Amino acid sequence: MLEGCCRQQVRWTHSIRSARGAVYRLCLGGLIVGSTVALALGSARAQTQGQNQPQPQIQSPAQLQAQSSSYTQPQPATLSAVAQNTAITQYDHTFSIFHPERGQRGMVASEQRLASQVGIDILAQGGNAIDAAVGVGFALAVVLPNSAGLGGGGFMLIQTAKGTKPVALDFREVAPASASRDMYLDAQDRVLASKSTQSPYAVGVPGSVAGLARALQDYGTLSLEQVIAPAIHLAENGFIVSAVLAEQLSLQRTHLGRWPGTREIFFKHKDPSNTSCALSECSLDALTTYRAGERLIQKDLASTLRLIGQHGAAGFYQGPVAQKIVAELNLDGQILSLKDLQDYRVVQREPVHGTYRGFDIYSMPAPSSGGVHLIQMLNLLERYPLAQYGAGSAQVVHLIAESARLAYSDRAEHLGDPDFVKIPQTGLTSKKYANELAGKIKLDRATPSVMVKPGQPQGFESDQTTHFSVMDAAGNVVSCTYTLNLNFGSGIVARGTGVLMNNEMDDFSIKPGVPNAFGLIGGDANAIAPGKRPLSSMTPVIVSTQQGPMLATGSPGGARIITTVLQQLINIIDFKMNIAEAIAMPRMHHQWLPDFLRLERGYSPDTIALLQKMGHEVRIMPAMGRVQTVQRRGDLFLGASDPRNPDGAALGIGLSP
């Protein structure tokens, strides 16, 4: 009965997982209740036995990496007959509620099972983690069109088996040569609605193809034709539309339906017997988006992928594909040129690095704000005994919110493209700067954001995205986040290419003090300029110990990416959760402005009441992030895909029987 109940569909936007994973919501409620009861009993026991009980100790990196979920039976000689019988029938031998996937020769976690399978197949064929990651990236461009695509951009961390630390590949989109600081303002200096999100002017020069090709060229072992072949097959022969993708297509019907090239791919005639008008010309009322269970075929995209496989990145940035992209975007003016595409370059950068309770944390530097402010917040939180406060407690939520309030304030002032402005990155990630900022945090009271101004780190100088993580047996690790920006990007498909174009220009500061689509405020450091890369929140992470890389993680989610990844790390390091449990916990978010504390469903009324008493304006809102995590523990690989997206999957190679 319970199993049947758990299979019922739950609306995915608020739930941890829909359909087959609805049990996550049920179990998560039990996890929270159980934790609350345990904390209450622990408190009562402490009062009964006195105040001299030993406090829980934070494990060292070596201890955490060696940690095992196995259960050691007591010696039979010490058991009574009843106890022996109980031990024989015992099934509750582990504290874990959720369990990660396991593998012996590698692990892939992504937002789409089909893409994860592509990665595993490449590993099985002898490819390394970089080969698999590039294959996953191209496959996601086919099967996850609302978030990933050849017309987007992103960031990738690569740790090779022989390297001592990761390298950071920046393939973020850049503003075309025609871009100007005030391009989204009218004559009265007012922001032009939708021009930066739903028009050809929203499109930045895409970097995804160049980034994936560069990663393979520098660190892969297989040819581009080999790793791109599965994506070509998925586009050419189609794949079955999931309930999640069908819902996204339906919700974005108007957004997608305004562009002829997009109609030709994601729409069908309502009446199959009446096809008198072409999809690109029919009234939108005569069309319908693809439904769950139907096969979506993308012939034009398959042709584009084939050209890339044959000619490398030049197959995208030059020749017929480039010409069609330019023609599509320039119907309303000279927005993007062939030279913009031909001049695109991937930048290899030094990853930002910090430590947290003995672990080495590596992430992306500017123009991503993710790594900088992740480390800034970890530096602030390291001084507090979070493990003693308890996972999901009001105190922990409050401290994360106050740390985020300070970090996002700094983000608005200091972050931008380091090739155009000086970023005080070393100061922002300095523990000494965190010591100064920590004095602004009150343990029992929220600080109104109007009272929080950007700090001065210079003195310390010395919503729709996707993420995937890959590890192989040789020790190579990839953590990659890339995006079209908003759902389906600009919505524009360049006819004849199958390529959805991004709307990444909205990530610039369109006008100082005016929020973008994610409510983020920007300043002069992130102002628009030709050839400049817009600020991002993408936060791919690799965590290492003295033994080498042990974890790769990241998430989509726009402005919420940084706090989502932060909570994943805290849940693993401070609260000793396995990676599946860490992902399933309810999340919170604060970003300075607008000044409210966003919570997922799952926090108790008592916790919410305590937060409100501290001065937080609490809002319960839809689920945030879709974390993809892989972990190495000795010879064992673990993987977990966020239950907030039922299409995602972590798959291992060489699974234990």
Which residues form the catalytic set?
Answer: 465
Q: Please tell me the total number of residues recorded for the chain in this structure.
A: 657
Torsional sign, CA 411, 203, 239, 255 = positive
List, in sequence order, every residue forming a beta bridge with 478; answer none if it has no partner. Answer: 158, 470
DSSP run (H or E) holding 233:
helix 224-237
> 257-292: b or e for each residue (b if 16 or more CB lie within 10 Å)?
bebebbbbbbbbbeeeeeeeeebeebeeeebebbee
Measured CA to CA in angstroms, residue 211 lies from 172, 232, 262, 539, 552 at distances of: 9, 18, 25, 16, 19
- Name the burial class of residue 2, with classes exposed (0-12), middle (13-18) and buried (19+) by CB atoms within 10 angstroms of its CB: exposed
Structural tokens at position 376: 């800034």
Closest listed residue to residue 362, CA positions, set 189, 195, 98, 540: 540
Q: How far apart are CA 264 and CA 278, in angstroms?
A: 8
In the numeric block, which tokens belong to residue 394? 């009001």
Distance CA 441, CA 184 (A): 37
Residue 32, number of CB atoms within 10 A of its CB = 18
The sign of the CA dihedral 280, 283, 286, 288 is positive
The residue assigned the tokens 């929270």 is: 32
- Taking the C-alpha atoms of residue 93 and residue 435, their distance in angstroms, rounded to an integer, is 42
Instruction: Count CB atoms within 10 A of the CB of residue 384.
Output: 18
E strand spans, 473-617: 477-485, 493-494, 499-500, 541-545, 548-553, 588-589, 597-599
Check: CB of residue 31 under 8 Å from CB of residue 578.
no
CA atoms within 13 A on the CB side of 565: 37
All residues at 6 or more sequence positions from 49 whose CB lies less than 8 Å from its CB, including other chains? none
Beta-sheet pairing, 541-545 with 359-363: antiparallel
Task: Calculate the alpha carbon distances from 517 to 73, 255, 464, 520, 557 in Å.
Answer: 55, 15, 11, 7, 12
- Reference 488, options 474, 475, 499; nearest CA is 499
Please state, in angstroms and rounded to a whole number, the distance separating the CA atoms of residues 431 and 397: 21
Q: Tell me the C-alpha distance between 560 and 578, whole Å.
A: 22
- For residue 308, give the nearest of 238, 223, 237, 219 by alpha carbon: 223
Beta-carbon-side half-sphere exposure of residue 616 (alpha carbons within 13 Å): 32
